[in-house]
Amino acid sequence: MGNQMRGANFLLATMALSALVLIGISSTAASTTATFTATTTNPGNTFATATLTISNDKPNAGDLVNITNLVPGDTAQRVVHITNGGNTGFTYAGAVSATANTLLWSDTTYGLQASVYRCNNCTTPANLVYSGALKNLAVPASGTIAAAGSDYLTFVFSLPTTAGNTFQSLTQDFTVTYTATQLAGTAR
C-alpha cells in the first residue's frame, strides 16, 4: 500500500500544482488585454476670410468738384463710379462732412444743395436717393454690389438763385465718404 499511497499523493500533488499553474495563467491573462485600434482623419481643412474693398473713380482732392467763381443759380453734375474690388459682396452708404463751416454749408435753405441719383449720368426721378442741403447729404444703403461689381451715383450740386450777397467770397470744402458693409454671413 505504500506505493499506492505515494502514487496517490504524487497524483494529488501534481493536480494541485497544475491547478496553481492554471490559476497563475488565468490571473496573468486577465491583466493583459489585447486591443484593436483604427484611425481616420480630416486633413487639410482651412478657413480663409473674405476681402472687403471699396473704391471710387474720384479719390483725390478736387476730383469730384472744384469750382471757383460760383454764382447763385449755378449747377454742377458729376458721376462717381463705385467699385467692389474685394472678393465678397457688400452694400454701401454715403455721408458728407466738412472741415470749414461757411454759410454755403450751414445755411440749409440758401447754401449749397445736392441731389443724388443712383444711376450713371442720369437725373431720373425714379433713381433719386437724396435731395436737400449738402450739409445733410446721406446716400442710403445700396443694393448688393457683387465681388468685382460696381455702381454709379450722379450728383447734382447747386447754389440756389435766392442766395444773397452774404454768400460772396466764400469757399466751402467737403468730403463724401462711402462705407461698404459686408453681406450677412450664411450657413455653409
Cβ within 8 Å of residue 178, ≥6 positions away = 54, 56, 82, 92, 93, 94, 139
| Domain 54-182 belongs in CATH node 2.60.40 | yes
The predicted structure's pLDDT at residue 134: 98
Q: CB of 173 within 8 A of CB of 98?
A: yes
pTM over 0.75: yes
Per-residue pLDDT of 21-76, as tens digits, reads 555 555 555 567 889 999 999 999 999 999 999 999 999 999 999 999 999 999 99
- Alpha-carbon 136 to chain mean position: 27
